Amino acid sequence: MKSKIWTRIVALTLLAALATSVQLAAQDNTKQHYHRHYHHYQINDVGTFGGPQSWQFDVGAARLGLLNNQGMLVGSADTLAVDPYCFWSPDCYATDALQWQNGGKTDLGVLAGGIGSQVIWVSANGLMGGASDNGQQDPLHPAWPQVHAVLWEHGQMTDLGTLAGGYDSSANAVNSRGEIVGQAYNTIPDPNSLFGYGYQSRAFYWNNGAMQDLGTLGTGTDAMAGLINEQGQVVGRSYINSIPNPTCAGISAFNFTTGSFLWDKENGMKDIGSLGGACTLANDLNNHGQIVGGSSLTGDTTVHPFVWNAASGITDLLNPSDSSYGFAEGENAHGDVAGGTCDSVTCYALLWRKSGRHWHKTILSTVTDNAFSISINASEQVVGNVGTNSSAPFLWEDGGPIVDLNTLVSPGSGLQFSEAHQINDRGEIAIGALDANGNNHSVLLIPCDEDHPGVEGCDYSLVDAAMLQLSPAPAPQHPAPGTPLGRMPAAMLNRFRSRWGQRTQVSGTVPASAAEQTSTANTGSVDLEGEQLLGPLYGHYKGYCGVSGGKLTGYCTAYSYYSCLAKVSTACPSGKTAAKPGYFQCSDRFSRYADLARSCGFN
């Protein structure tokens, strides 16, 4: 549910030796000698409201909007109140929405009678969209509270309501004009419902007190809106029909033929098309109306990154004959694109720039990195995540290598960065971190540079990248055919799938190979990837007893595909010393600190 551990302590065992042809393709057979210096960063832990953890939320519908160019970071943090639904955080503490800026944290509160809230998006001028419950049960799903989309504006919270008498909605993005988009469930039964809710999910547009159903593409019944730019253009995803599609199900919460749309008030909903396959997932939209994402090719043999604009339509960022699997994850105001591709063994962090009519890519990582780019700013600084069995959020700047962000901060914080989320145009980075007890911390990294003078505690000396690098310098490349190497690694497939999940679990996972299912690598972690643990919406959940401070918490932390579930369990006696503490991969999105010697489960 919260965006935290991008690599999820996955159990992927890399091949000991890679084919020479793959190495040459990845590195362009180029060796460069360079000296590049990086700035240090100051750690700003946003803290909590009394509970143990703070969170940065990933809506799963598009790129993240947690951080604006004014240095305002949003999310949520645990309070000391218990959440009886275990809805707002996997540790079952109620959370309050938060805003952090210039060292100050603001509790944004909850709706009257509610238990928890969270901010999902902050606009350029500080308007915030998200969700809060109202303290009432959802009549359609009594195990959940009623959750409503919320706007925070100048200290005031507005309940945006729901569609057609429904009980649940969520604001996914807001622009500076106060136009808001998201998704809302109605009360029309739908066996093909998005995220298994059982009722139709609809994309909505809200403005001046009125919520509008944007409809769907084709004969589809479900849709969601994830992005809106300053011109009021909306991007989202929709079922096109009710034909099951394993490609869509394998990489998203959409189990049927899925398209992506652009909507505005003048022209309504427009299908942006596809690269020939049945699944197109838009992931980012800039203020010029350029859209990026991933789309399957004819026959649904693989997925390629794409860019779309009104003039030229959808364009494959790879050669169509390339068998690699890839996505475009983010873009900047100039139209530069960050993302990556994967062969059967390794994923490569990439940057695409357009020159004339052609797109040219730069490979930021090497065959030894297993990395993926997720966010890019106007200065073409790129952040992403690298690693297989452990996570190392990285930073890349033009001409240099990718470097571990953990090495650019002063030691002694007690935090290990686990996932980079977003970089703004000031070079500030929203990032998740873990402490020694496995608790999650929402963090803003501020660069100690000329644009941030006089920051208390900043180390303004420069770091030689040669001492920090994860990989050799990247090599610019023109589009070229790839090497057919089969399907992408299960570890990175989890990363893609998690980008499109939502708060409810999803059926139809793509099984991993036997080796991938059984591997535990060398991390002492447990990964249930490949195990078919989930049935219908209220299926059986399997997991391990949660641990905090070396003691059992009394909760069973269970696998639930997207967000970790937790429930009080007699199998997990509170206060008992953990026999084998370690990280449990409790979803395709998160891991939790648990006793790996004490399994548990519940229905």
SS (HEC) of 65-87? ECECCCCCEEEEEEEEEECCCCC
Q: What is the pLDDT of residue 412?
A: 86
| 42: Cβ contacts below 8 Å, ≥ 6 apart | 409, 445, 446, 447, 448, 455, 457, 458
Q: How many residues does the chain have?
A: 603
Angle at 303 between CA 355 and CA 475, to 5 degrees: 40
Each residue of 179-238: pLDDT tens digit?
Answer: 999 999 999 998 877 776 789 999 999 999 999 999 999 999 999 999 999 999 999 999
The whole-number average pLDDT for the span 266-295 is 97
Q: What is the pLDDT of residue 439?
A: 92
End-to-end CA distance of the chain: 19
Model pTM score: 0.79
- Flag the least confident range among 29-43, 185-199, 442-456: 29-43
Q: How is residue 301 annotated by DSSP?
A: S
Q: What is the pLDDT of residue 62?
A: 76
Each residue of 380-436: pLDDT tens digit?
Answer: 999 999 875 456 899 999 878 899 999 999 888 999 998 999 999 999 999 999 999
28: pLDDT confidence band, cut at 50, 70 and 90?
very low
Q: Is the dihedral of CA 557, 558, 559, 560 positive or negative?
A: negative
Q: Is residue 517 scored above 50 in pLDDT?
A: no
Sheet of strand 210-213: strand arrangement:
168-174, 180-189, 199-207, 210-213
Q: Is residue 480 scored above 50 in pLDDT?
A: no
Each residue of 94-131: pLDDT tens digit?
Answer: 999 999 999 999 999 999 999 999 999 999 999 999 99
Q: What is the pLDDT of residue 540?
A: 63
The whole-number average pLDDT for the span 68-73 is 97
CB 98 within 8 A of CB 106: yes
What's the CA gap between 4 and 516, in Å, rounded?
A: 22
CB 494 within 8 A of CB 5: no
Q: Which residue has the higher pLDDT, 445 or 247?
A: 445
What's the CA gap between 460 and 457, in Å, rounded?
A: 9
Q: Which residue has the higher pLDDT, 131 or 515?
A: 131
The whole-number average pLDDT for the span 447-457 is 93
Token look-up 């078919």 returns 532
Q: Is residue 460 scored above 90 in pLDDT?
A: yes
The whole-number average pLDDT for the span 518-547 is 44
Q: How is residue 356 annotated by DSSP?
A: T
What's the CA gap between 112 and 256, in Å, rounded?
A: 38
Q: What is the pLDDT of residue 471?
A: 54
Q: Is residue 457 scored above 70 in pLDDT?
A: yes
CB 69 within 8 A of CB 424: yes
**Mean pLDDT of all residues belonging to the chain:** 80
CB 352 within 8 A of CB 317: yes
Each residue of 581-593: pLDDT tens digit?
Answer: 877 776 654 567 7
Domains annotated on the chain, with CATH: 20-499 (2.140.10), 521-602 (no CATH)
Q: How is residue 489 annotated by DSSP?
A: P
What's the CA gap between 305 and 317, in Å, rounded?
A: 6
Q: Is residue 539 scored above 90 in pLDDT?
A: no
